[in-house]
Amino acid sequence: MTDEERYKLFPVILSEYKPIWKKRYSKEKGVIEQAINLHNIIRISHIGSTGRARTDSQATIDILVEIKEDTITPG
């Protein structure tokens, strides 16, 4: 697939900063904390352009979760 075909299939659409993004991050952070268990989490960060006011962004909330190395995962 060429870059041009990929851009048509997955366009990058930017929008102005929206304060709701901070609220959506906070909500998702709570869900993550419950799912992983707070004592296993080192840090949760709102990364990417939606985490910075006054920046045009893709409307995707990027979240980085750092967990302790000894965390046991199901499976």
- 19 lies in a domain? yes
Q: Among all chains, which residue has been given the structure tokens 């893709």?
A: 58
pLDDT score of 75? 62
**Is residue 1 domain-resident?**
no
Cα torsion 4, 48, 55, 31 to 10°: value is 120
Q: Assess if residue 2 is contained within a domain.
A: no
* In a domain? residue 5: no
Q: Is residue 7 part of a domain?
A: no
Asked if residue 42 lies in contact with residue 68, where contact means CB atoms within 8 angstroms, the answer is yes
Domain count, the chain: 1
Query: Has residue 3 been placed in a domain?
Result: no
Q: Average pLDDT across each block of 10 residues of the chain; the chain has 75 residues. List them in order.
A: 91 90 96 93 93 86 94 71
pLDDT at 74 (0 to 100)? 66
- Would you give the DSSP letter of residue 10? S
* pTM, two decimal places: 0.77
CA 50 distance to own-chain centroid: 9
36 lies in which domain range? 13-67
pLDDT of residue 47: 93
Eight-state DSSP code of residue 59? S
In a domain, 42, yes or no: yes
